[in-house]
Amino acid sequence: MRWFSFQSRPKNKNELQLIKFLIKKFGYRPKNLKIFKTALTHKSISNVSKGLESNERLEFLGDTILDAVIADILYEKFPDKNEGYLTKVKSKLVSRKTLSMVAKKMEIGKNIYFQKGRGINVHSLEGNALESLIGAIYLDGGFKTVKKSITHSILRNYLNIQDVLENEIDFKSQLYIWAQRNKINIEFNLMREELIKGEWNYEVEVLLNSIPHGRGKGNTKKMAEQSACKQTLELIG
Active site positions, annotated: 63, 131
Q: Whole-angstrom Cα distance, residue 66 to residue 155? A: 12
Q: What is the 3-state secondary structure (H, E, C) of 153-218?
A: HHHHHCCCHHHHHHHHCCHHHHHHHHHHHCCCCEEEEEEEEEEECCEEEEEEEEEECCEEEEEEEE
Distances (CA, A) of 39 to 96, 112, 164, 210, 231: 17, 9, 27, 58, 45
Q: Whole-angstrom Cα distance, residue 180 to residue 184? A: 6
Distances (CA, A) of 223 to 91, 166, 228: 21, 7, 9
Provide the phi-psi class of 235: left if phi over 0, else alpha when psi is between -120 and 50, else beta.
alpha
What does the CA dihedral 73, 94, 126, 124 come to, rounded to 10 degrees?
180
